[in-house]
């Protein structure tokens, strides 16, 4: 009888240990820091919302569920590029595992840390601007997606001239503090000269410089090229209004500019770029070094047209042009 009681006591003790162990393990696991992704957004949460949703959804498909298996910290510069170093430094203090950003945000992130992996969603010329050593072997702590293509500037100007046969003079709105925009401007200038167009570069550094820069034109240009960068993106609707007032036909890289009232865009699908960025982050969180992941370039480009803007400018877009468009906004 005493032996049976002893055995039962031992059994209960063992059972209690078996129950306690997984509880303790779960408690330990829950207290463990989740892998953390820091998103350094160049614009506002609203303007990036559909892109971030695509990123988060793709991460989830790859096994990284926000709040359960991965933490995501969001910070927004809202078009103020001077905030980038401050946000990057905050991510370094938080010891995030990966920083995701775009365009102007990449160099401040690299200056803040040479060890935290950085994935750029878009970069105009990652080699020329010093983000990576080469596309095939980035080395360093950054990799991502490039929207650079040697013939894209010429293609955009051909599209612009197709809807504006009288195009003779082109203005380019350029943030001279962003190396990627400066390099893109050079490509546009070369393409414009090859097409026999005169070019005027409108330089700016801050959002408040944009309106005075456009005012300098005084009606001398018919077209306006908008390089892809954070300040221009954050002010895309205002630029569309200013351009319409000045009777300027605009073309750019990103569809969202056209949705905001600019006329044309020709470039990669940004939703797809953010989805692909999630795949880069997945590889890094699983142990691959960013310097070993090649920089990719998009192979598919989309043409978007805003018909409402065309009508406001008194333009008739040829039907042959519209049928080639991937999206027509009315």
- Specify the 3-state DSSP secondary structure of 142: strand
Within a domain: 90: yes
Domain count of the fold of the chain = 2
User: 155 and 147 in contact (C-beta within 8 Å)?
Assistant: no
Q: How far apart are CA 17 and CA 271, in angstroms?
A: 50
In a domain, 27, yes or no: no
Distance CA 59, CA 66 (A): 8
User: Is 40 within the bounds of a domain?
Assistant: yes
**DSSP code per residue over 92-117:** HHHT-SEEEE-GGGHHHHHHH-SSS-
User: Is 5 among the domain residues?
Assistant: no
Q: What is the arrangement of strands in the sheet containing 142-144, beginning at the earlier edge strand?
A: 71-76, 36-41, 98-101, 118-120, 142-144
* CATH number of the domain within which 46 lies: 3.40.50.2300
What per-residue confidence (pLDDT) applies to 149?
A: 63
Q: For every one of its 330 residues, what pLDDT tens digit does the chain have, with 9 covering 90 and above?
A: 444 444 444 434 444 444 444 434 343 444 468 999 999 999 999 999 999 999 999 999 999 999 999 999 999 999 999 999 999 999 999 999 999 999 889 999 999 999 999 999 999 889 988 999 999 999 999 999 998 765 789 999 999 999 999 999 999 999 999 998 999 999 999 999 999 999 999 999 999 999 999 998 988 999 999 998 899 999 999 999 999 999 999 999 999 999 999 999 999 999 999 999 999 999 999 999 999 999 999 888 999 999 999 999 999 999 999 999 999 999
Regarding whether 211 and 259 lie in a shared domain, the answer is yes
d(CA 307, CA 72): 38
Domain carrying residue 228 = 152-267+301-329
In a domain, 53, yes or no: yes
| E-state strands within 121-196 | 142-144, 169-175
Q: Are residues 178 and 97 in the same domain?
A: no
- Whether 98 is in a domain gets the answer yes
Domain co-membership, 209 together with 179:
yes
* pLDDT at 314 (0 to 100): 95
Q: What is the pLDDT of residue 320?
A: 95
- Give the end-to-end CA distance of the chain in Å, rounded to a whole number: 89
- Quote the crossing angle between the two packed helices 152-163 and 179-194, to the nearest 10°: 60
318 and 205 belong to one structural domain: yes
Structure letter (DSSP) for residue 274: H
Same-domain pairing of 192 and 322: yes
- Measured distance CA(87)–CA(183) in Å, rounded: 25
Asked whether residue 16 is domain-assigned, the answer is no
Alpha-helix residue ranges (DSSP H) falling in 167-245: 179-194, 210-215, 230-234, 236-245
Query: What pLDDT is stored for residue 231 in this prediction?
Result: 94
């Amino acid at each position: 009888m005493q032996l049976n009681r002893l055995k039962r006591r031992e059994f209960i003790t063992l059972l209690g240990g078996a129950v306690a162990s997984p509880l303790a393990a779960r408690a330990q696991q829950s207290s463990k820091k989740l892998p953390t992704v820091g998103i350094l957004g160049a614009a506002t949460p609203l303007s990036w919302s559909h892109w971030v949703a695509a990123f988060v959804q793709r991460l989830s498909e790859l096994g990284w569920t926000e709040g359960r298996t991965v933490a995501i910290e969001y910070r927004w510069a809202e078009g103020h590029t001077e905030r980038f170093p401050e946000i990057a430094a905050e991510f370094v203090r938080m010891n995030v595992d990966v920083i995701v950003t775009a365009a102007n945000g990449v160099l401040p992130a690299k200056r803040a840390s040479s060890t935290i992996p950085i994935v750029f969603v878009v970069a105009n010329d990652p080699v020329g601007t010093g983000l990576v050593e080469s596309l095939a072997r980035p080395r360093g702590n950054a990799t991502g997606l490039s929207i650079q293509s040697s013939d894209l500037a010429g293609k955009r100007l051909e599209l612009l001239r197709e809807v504006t046969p009288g195009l003779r003079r082109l203005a380019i709105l350029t943030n001279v503090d962003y190396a990627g925009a400066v390099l893109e401007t050079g490509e546009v200038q070369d393409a414009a000269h090859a097409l026999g167009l005169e070019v005027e570069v409108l330089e700016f550094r801050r959002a408040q410089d944009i309106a005075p820069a456009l005012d300098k034109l005084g009606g001398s240009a018919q077209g306006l090229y908008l390089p892809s960068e954070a300040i221009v993106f954050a002010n895309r609707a205002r630029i569309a209004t200013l351009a319409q007032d000045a009777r300027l036909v605009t073309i750019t890289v990103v569809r969202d500019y056209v949705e905001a009232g600019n006329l044309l865009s020709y470039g990669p699908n940004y939703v797809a770029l953010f989805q692909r960025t999630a795949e880069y982050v997945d590889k890094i969180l699983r142990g691959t070094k960013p310097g070993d992941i090649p920089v990719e370039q998009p192979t598919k480009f989309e043409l978007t047209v805003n018909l409402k803007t065309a009508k406001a400018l008194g333009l008739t877009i040829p039907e042959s042009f519209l049928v080639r468009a991937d999206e027509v906004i009315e």
